[in-house]
Amino acid sequence: MGTYRMMSRTMPDIVVCVKQTVDVYQLKPHPETLAPQLSQAQWKNSDFDLNAVEEAVRIKEKSGGKVVVVSVGPEVKQLLVRECLAMGADEAYILSDPSLAQADGAATAKALAAVIKTASPKWDIILCGEASLDQNAYQTGPRLAEIFNVPHVSYVNKLEVGDRVLKAWRAVEDGVEVVSCSLPAVVTVGLEINTPRLPSLLMIRAAQKKPLKELSLNDVGLTKDDLMPRAETLEVKALKTERRRQVFEGKVEELAEKLAERIIAHMGGRR
């Protein structure tokens, strides 16, 4: 019994929330209207979320436990979820519903929480990307922590999981803040925390046999009304950047200095 308890304590169950977004690297704004051309874009797993999957798998490789991937959206693509399983996650649950197309941070967190409660109620850590590749709202993680009423640590670029506690290094404005909290907790990670692995052929093939389950709103006890957004998006446009088109001439060493000064001056003199 004692051994069992110890084991169960040191082998965390980790839930990773993964959002599927349009691949912004392939997005080209329409030359005249500047509106992003979504119909031509390809979908991918949001970058930050892949960092979260990688971190979860690394924790599992060190301490054991289980990694569960959860993805919600208007039309979650199984293939992309399989990619997370190929990276080393053990099982996945997805919730696709058209009403999630307009979901804001609140609705998304509500949907994720409902899936987690249904599919993996006994979790120790929820890992999220700190923001998503497409909307950059920085909302999902903190809102999940509120729903579950557990501690939340954001902007993490280094993470250690111990016995019922975690220690996290947070990238904040003027340095690094080291914090620790008890489990269960929600952690959001940034791009610096790790480099997501490329799944090997062996892992890709193994992923085909891992459980991937589709849930409906009904399965997780939600209705369409629960997912109504509170805010409405009126228009989305790309920023138009005007180049300064300044040319510097001279020796490279001097030019570097000159260029640096100009950039600093442009940023209001802050180094």
Partner 1 sequence: MVFPFSSVFDFAVEMKEEYEIFRKSVRAFAEKEIEPLVKEIERTNTIPPALLKKAAEQGYLGLGIPETYDGQGTDMMYSTLFVEEVSRICPAFTVATLVGVLFTYPVMVYGTEEQKRKYLPPIARGEKFAAHATTEPGAGTDVAGIETTAKRKNGGWEINGRKYFISGADKADYFIVLARTSPPPSRKERHKGLSFFIVERGTPGFRVGEKIEVIGIRGSHPCEVILDNVYVPEENMVGEEGQGFKIAMDTYDHGRIGVAAQAVGVAQACLEKALQYSLQRRVFERPLIYFQAVQFHVSEMLTMLEGARLMLYWATTLANKNRPEAVMAASMAKLYATEVAEKAALKAITVHGGVGVATDGMVERFLRDSQVFKIYEGANDIQKLVILRQMMKTAFGMDVD
8 binds partner 1 (CB under 8 A): no
**Cα gap 239→65, rounded to integer Å:** 44
DSSP 133-198: TTT----HHHHHHHHHT--EEEEEEEEEE-SSEEEEEEEETTEEEEEEEESSEEEEE-GGG--PPP
Q: How many residues bind partner 1 (CB under 8 A)?
A: 14
Q: How far is the CB of 53 from partner 1 (least distance, A)?
A: 14
Q: How far is the CB of 210 from partner 1 (least distance, A)?
A: 12
Q: Which of 4, 122, 174, 198 binds partner 1 (CB under 8 A)?
A: 198
Which residue lies nearer to partner 1 by CB, 205 or 224?
A: 205
26 binds partner 1 (CB under 8 A): no
End-to-end Cα separation, the chain, in angstroms: 58
Nearest to 193 by CA among 208, 207, 176: 176
Which residue lies nearer to partner 1 by CB, 209 or 230?
A: 209
Beta carbons within 8 Å of 267's beta carbon, 6+ residues apart: none
Q: How far is the CB of 82 from partner 1 (least distance, A)?
A: 6
Stretch that binds partner 1, among 126-134, 200-208, 221-229, 237-245 (CB under 8 A): 200-208
Stretch that binds partner 1, among 159-167, 168-176, 192-200, 233-241 (CB under 8 A): 192-200
Which residue lies nearer to partner 1 by CB, 202 or 267?
A: 202
Residue found under tokens 């009904």:
218
Which residue lies nearer to partner 1 by CB, 185 or 207?
A: 207
Which residue lies nearer to partner 1 by CB, 1 or 202?
A: 202
Nearest to 59 by CA among 160, 151, 204: 160
Tell me if 70 sits within 8 A of 109, measured CB to CB: no
Tell me if 67 sits within 8 A of 53, measured CB to CB: yes
239 binds partner 1 (CB under 8 A): no
Tell me if 230 sits within 8 A of 104, measured CB to CB: yes
**Cα gap 101→64, rounded to integer Å:** 36
Beta carbons within 8 Å of 151's beta carbon, 6+ residues apart: 145, 181, 182, 185, 186
From residue 71 to residue 90, the character string flagging contacts with partner 1 as x (rule: CB under 8 A) and all else as - is: -------xx--xx--x----
Which residue lies nearer to partner 1 by CB, 67 or 126?
A: 67
Which residue lies nearer to partner 1 by CB, 128 or 207?
A: 207
From residue 203 to residue 222, the character string flagging contacts with partner 1 as x (rule: CB under 8 A) and all else as - is: -xx-xx--------------
Burial zone of 58 (CB within 10 Å; 0-12 exposed, 13-18 middle, 19+ buried): middle
Q: How far is the CB of 190 from partner 1 (least distance, A)?
A: 20
Which residue lies nearer to partner 1 by CB, 133 or 222?
A: 133
Q: Which residues bind partner 1 (CB under 8 A)?
A: 78-79, 82-83, 86, 198-202, 204-205, 207-208
